Structure 1
Amino acid sequence: MQAVQDFLHTLRKDLRGEAHADPITRSLYATDASNYQIDPLAVVKPKDKDDVVATVKHAAAFGLPVLPRGGGTSLAGSTVGRAVILDMSKYMRQVISVDAEAKRARVQPGVPLQVLNNQLRRARLKFGPDPASAVVCTLGGMIGNNSTGSHSILYRMTADNLHATDVVLSDGTFARFEPTPRNEIGNKIIQATSPLEAMIWQSVPVMIERARPALDARRPDTWRRCGGYNLDRLLIDRSAAMKTSQSVRSM
């Protein structure tokens, strides 16, 4: 596929990490813990956020989809697809900071859950959701999948323990998304660092309100689920819902 080769040629000029499209590498990323098998277009292993930006921007320029991947522990094929795989697990696996008093941690997306918990143990803390794949699964993957574990009744889902996410949008710009009261959305639009971020803050609340009756009528009557998009969570007054939430819990 010529577009993939052109993409890799252009990307490697800006990339500090790795980029591959050889048959062996692609076959290694064609599966996860599910029964699905789909060869990706290419595999990129970013070393830092600038590599992520470069990958997303160049992929968009060549019309190629991007699929982030953590530990590859999904049982539903979430990390396989005909796309440019963005493997966060090799280099972007740093625990940036831990605030034991506030019970919060800041991490890169490729940090395995067990690595984070090993550091938190010194302060007698742990991250609440506890999937069985904790040794391998990554925090970024848990966020994408809204993962939980055997103690979900106590700790609920990953989304219930998430305070903010720093993301790279499809145009290669940065944005931070966090629980935001409705009366502060106007400020978010004004403070947006790109037209795309401003459009997201401006358009998504309107679309959600328009779809509110359908979401209320058709959302599954269970809180433990990770399939599809959690659009109904956007209906919650998150400023109130987050008052009792903590990212890490006492042991």
Structure 2
Amino acid sequence: MKRIQLPLATFAGTLLYFGAINAAETKTPLVPLPSIDDFTHGDGWGVGVGLGVEYESAYEGSDEFELEVDPAGGVQWRTGEHIFFWAGEAIGWRTLVDDSWLFQASLGYEEGREEGDSKDGRLNGLGESGSGAELLLEVRHALGQDWRYFLDGRISTGSIGTLGIFGVGTCLACQPDGTGWEIGAVVTFHDSEFANRGFGVNAQQSIDSGIPQTDVDGGFRSVGINVNYRYYLNKNWQLFGEALYERYGSDVSDSPLSRNDYEAEIGIGFVYVF
């Protein structure tokens, strides 16, 4: 599951423009799930700014890991059961229907892999993989009260190909304010364009790198588990954590670019909500 983030440099102008957020009593979030942030106090504007620290695979299929510090948070505007948001390189909208259906659409930018992502030089000669605009469509459906169990489906598509994610999740010790633990199990599929973006080697890349030419078919990509956690230290400070493990299928793990047959990350961070 991808997290969307807002660069810290954009917040100063945003805060001056929108002014101080009303310090009213915190109301029920759009949905009580730790993975769906709601920085608003009911209707109106909400702004959250913070930092996250992640230990993760350097790139897809890598056996190298790196520590990375990223900005976290976002700017949101809520009206009733609708939230419009800007976070990182994405803008979007999400809405709740009949208290059991969550729909989300966002438009963002996905950066490509660079040769320098491998400190051991295992990407030398491959150049940069494709970057481009990405449309994300997501729907979640609650299977019981308070979103204790839910189904999740996402499709990401654009100039870099198409990725589909389908899963089931549960919320453990979750509270109406959106705090607690969320655990999900997913299966993912990709088309050949998306598959070869991360794991394919074309003829020119093979000549430049010495890696055998490889074409990866579309279809099944991986199975995985993801965990999200959120806790309110007080009215303004939120602590969050996340972990992800993705196990590749044989078509992906057989690629010469797959130094590992899995991808993993773990992270923790905080957000200050104005």
* TM-score (structure 2 length as normaliser): 0.24
Q: Greater relative contact order: 1 or 2 (C-alpha under 8 angstroms, separation 6 or more)? A: 2
* TM-score (structure 1 length as normaliser): 0.26
Q: Which has the higher helix share?
A: 1
